[in-house]
Structure 1
Amino acid sequence: MFCPDCGTWNRASAPRCQRCEAALPALPGPPALEPPDEEITTLRRATGDRYTVERRLGGGGMAHVYLAKHAALGTPLAIKVLLRHLARDEEMRTRFRREAEAAARLQHPNVVPILDYGQLGDVSYIVMPFLSGGSLADAMTGRRTLTPERAATAAAQAAQGLDYAHRRGVVHRDVKPDNVLFDTEGHAAVTDFGIASTRFHARLTATGRAMGTPHYMSPEQAMGRLLDGRSDVYALGILLYEMLSGDPPFDGPDAYAVGYKHVHEAPTPIEIVAPGAPPALAAITMRCLAKNPAERYQRAGDLADALIGFLVERRAPELRAAWRTRWPTPARPRP
C-alpha cells in the first residue's frame, strides 16, 4: 500500500511507513468474510478427508493460505483458497484454475509444485508443499538487505525455475518478493503463477490490462504489450536491486506513477544506492533493468549463468546451493 502521508510504497502487512514511520491504515477486508473458524470448516467440507486443515497462515487480496497436513502421509501442506467473493466471479475462477494448470506442468526444484486443485460450490483451492523458510519479502522486512552472495544465490535459483517455465511457454508476469519462497535449507522456489500467461492462452490476460505488481513490472508490461520471458528477467533485476539496496528502484504515489517511471525514467545506479555492491553484481543487476528487452539477458538461464559465474569468482560457499543440473534427471524405467 502507499503511505497516505508521504506516498511511499510499503508492504501490505506493514504497520508503519518504512520512510516516515506514519501509522498505515488497516486494509479493508473483503465483503461478507466468514470468521476464521467458519472458513476452516467450509474448507474442510470442500477438501473432504484427504487433508487435515489446521490454521490460517495468512493471505492477501485474492486468497487465504492455510496450513494443513496430508491425512494419510502427515506431510505439511499449504492450501491456497480463493476468497469467496472472488470465487463467485467466473473470470477470477478461471484465472485461479489457470494457476493450477500452469504450475502443475512445471516440475522443477525451483518451482513450487501444485499437488492438487479442487472446487466445490464457491470454494476454489490449490494444494502445495509447505515451505517453512518464509518468503523473500519476509527476509527483507524493514528494508533489510541481503549479502551480495545471498542475493545472487536467491536470484540464481529463481532464475533457473523461471527459465524452466519459459522453455515450456509459461511467463510468470508477477515475480516479486512475496512469490519467492524458501525451504528450511534456504533454497528458493518461485510460486504463484496466478497471472502467468502461456502461448496457448495469452489472450485471456492480454486484453490491455497491465496485470502484475507495479513495483516489479517491466516497461512493456506497464504499457500492456505482449510479454515474453525477458519481462520476468526485468522483475528479477528489481529483486536484485531491492535485495542489495533495501528498496525497489522506482516508487510513487500510485500505481500509474510507478509504471510511468518504469517506462520513462532510468533507475539510480545500484552502485550509488548500495555502495557496497560488488561491481560485477551491480553490472548484472543493471543489465536486467534495461528498458529495451533486447538489451537484457535474453533468457533467465543466461541470468542464472551470470550469477553463478559471480559466485564462482567470489568463491562463495553459497555456490553449491545456487548450482544444480539445469534439467532434472529423468526417472529410470523399472526392470
Structure 2
Amino acid sequence: MSAQPLRIAVTGREGQVARALVERGRALGVEVVPVGRPALDLAKAETVLPALAAAAPQVIVNAAAYTAVDKAESEPELAHAVNEAGAGAVAAAAARLGVPVVHLSTDYVFDGHIGRPHREEDAPSPVNVYGRSKLAGEAAVAAAAPDHAILRVAWVYSPFGRNFVRTMLALAASREVLRVVADQHGAPTSALAIADGVIAVARNLVARPGEVALRGLFHMSAAGEATWADLAEAVFTESATRGGPAARVERIGTADYPTPAARAPDTRLDCSRIAAVHGVALPHWRVSLAEVVARCLAGEEGEGKTA
C-alpha cells in the first residue's frame, strides 16, 4: 500500500500563495486543503482552531494576511488584528493540534538602508503599518508555536489575483508609456515558486520533527534582483515576444509617486540560510516571470482557482 500524501491546510482561498499551493500540491503529490472565510477569518480569532481542526492537517501554512499596504495606514487596527492576532491564533491552533506551522512574512519588515541583502539576524525596522503588523505577527507565531518556520518572501506575483505583473499587462493594453519607480530594489518572486519552497519546508518539518535547525526564521525569495521599473520592462519584453501588449517604461523616483505608506528603498533578502538548511533555492525571477506572463496572456489562471 502506498503512503498517503502529505496533507497541508493553508489559510485563505483566493490569495496568490494559497492558490499556487493548491496547484503545485497536485503536481507534487501533496494534498492542499484551503481553509478560508467564512469558516476561518483571521480577524475573528475564535474561528481559527475549529476550521483548521476540521481540515485534519499534518502541517498548517498561514498564507492569509492583510496585504493592502497603503490602506493599512488608515486601518492599523484591522491590519494588526489579521497579521498579528490572527497569525498568532493560527500558530496556537497548530500547537494545539500538534502539527508544525509555516508562516509567511515579508521583506517589508526592513527599512532598506543596510546596503546589502538582508540576513535573518539583521534587526527589522519597518517603515509602514503593514510592515509593523507583519513583524508583530512573526513574534506572535514564534511565541505560540515552537514548531514553526517563518518564511519572509518578497514582491509576490502570479498568474492570478491582483499583483504588479497583471496590472502592468492590463495598463499596457491602453497606454503607450507607463511611469514606474526605479529606485526601490528587491526580488520579484513568483507565488508558484514560493509554493514549491513552502512544500519543501513543510515536508522537512514533518519528516524530521526533532531537528531544531529546520525551525525558526528564513528568507525565501527568487534569485536575482530588480527595481519595479526593471520588472515592468521585463514583463513587456516577455509579452511582446508573445504578441501581447507592451509599453515604454519611464523611470521615476519614489518621490515622484507618493503613496500613503512609506516604501523602503532596498529590501533584498539573503536566502543562503534556507538553501543550506532546507535545500530550497528559488529560480531566478526572470525564469519564473516568463511562465507567468505566458499564462496571463493565455488567460490561464490555473488550477489554483478555488470556489
Fold conserved (TM > 0.5)? Answer: no
Question: Bigger radius of gyration, 1 or 2?
Answer: 1
TM-score (norm 2): 0.32
